[in-house]
Amino acid sequence: MLVFPEAWRGHLKSEDIIDWLFAIEGKVYKEKEGRRTFRFTLFGKHYFAKVHRGVGWKEITKNLCQFRLPVLGAQNEWRAIQHLQRLGVETAQLVAYGRRGWNPARLQSFVITEALDNTVSLENFCRDWPTSPPSYLVKRALITKVATIARTLHEHGINHRDFYICHFLMDISQGLVRLDPHRLKLFLIDLHRMQIRRRIPWRWRVKDIASLYFSSMDIGLTHRDLLRFVWVYGNKPLKESLTKDKAFWWQVRKRGNRLYGEFIRKNRITRSPS
C-alpha cells in the first residue's frame, strides 16, 4: 500500500519511495526499536516522518508477555490522525503513508505529515510558570482546552497511551506575547501507540489522565486549576464529578504520584517544597 501526493509523482517513483525515505537525511528526533522519527525538507516544504523498519520477534514477544499490543508499523498513526481529524481534534496534517512486507517482525512502513512549525510544547511553555506565571485567562484557556481534548478522546473510545503535556504543541505563529486566550490552538502529536475501540476500559482512562497529572506536577498548578480540569473533563457539575467519579480521581492521583516518585528516583532529583 502506498499513498503520497500527486505533486511528488513526477520526482519520486512509487516503488522507490520507501528506500528513499530510509536513506534520506534530516534532523533525527528519536531512533529506537526499529523506528526513526525525523524532520526533513522536500521541494521547499518541511515535513515530519516516522519510518518503521520492523521491531523484530524479540520486541513483539516482550510486549505480548507484558499483555501489551506491540506497535508493528506506521499504520496505527495513519489511522489515528484520520480519526482525530474527523473528531475535530487538531493534529499534524497527513501527507503520505506506505507499507511493504507481510512478516510482522520485519514490516516496513512510514507516515509523513506536514511539520508543525511555529509551535512550542506545553512542557516547554509551562516550564517557568512557578516563577513567571502566565495571565489568568491564558492558563484557564489552556486547562480548558487540554481537558476538552481529553474528554473528546475518551468519549469516542480513544486512549493516547503517552498522554503527557510534551505531546501537546501550541501554535505561536502570532508570537508568545500576543497569545489570544480565545483562539489558542493545540496540536496533539505522537499517536503511534493510540488505541481506538468502542469503549475505553476504566484503567486506560486512568492511565491517560494520570500521565497528564504527572507531567504537569511541576508547573505550578493550583488546587483551583485542578478542579477546573475535573469540571471540564467530567462535563457535569463539579460536585457531581467529585462524588460520582471519586474512585476514578483517587486512582488518577495515586497513579500520578507513583509516576512522579519513579521519575524522581530514576533521575535522582529532589522535588522543591510546594
Q: Which residue has the higher pLDDT, 4 or 121?
A: 121
Which of 16, 19, 117, 162 is flagged as catalytic?
A: 162
pLDDT number for residue 31: 83
Domain covering 2-114, topology: Phosphorylase Kinase; domain 1 (3.30.200)
Give the list of residues 6+ apart from residue 34 with CB closer than 8 angstroms, or none.
52, 53, 54, 55, 56, 59
For the chain, which residues make up each domain, given as ranges? 2-114, 119-267
pLDDT number for residue 42: 85
pLDDT number for residue 273: 43
Q: What is the pLDDT of residues 151-184, one digit of tens each?
A: 999 999 999 999 999 999 999 998 887 789 999 9
The band of 11, judged by pLDDT with boundaries at 50, 70 and 90, is low
128 included as an active-site residue: no
When pLDDT is averaged across residues 201-230 and rounded to a whole number, the result is: 97
When pLDDT is averaged across residues 221-240 and rounded to a whole number, the result is: 97
Residue 100 amino acid letter: R
CATH code for the domain defined by 119-267: 1.10.510.10
Full-model pTM: 0.89
Query: Taking each helix axis from N to C terminus, what angle separates 136-155 and 202-215, rounded to the nearest 10 degrees?
Result: 160
Alpha-carbon distance 252 to 233, whole Å? 13
Alpha-carbon distance 120 to 200, whole Å? 29
pLDDT number for residue 17: 73
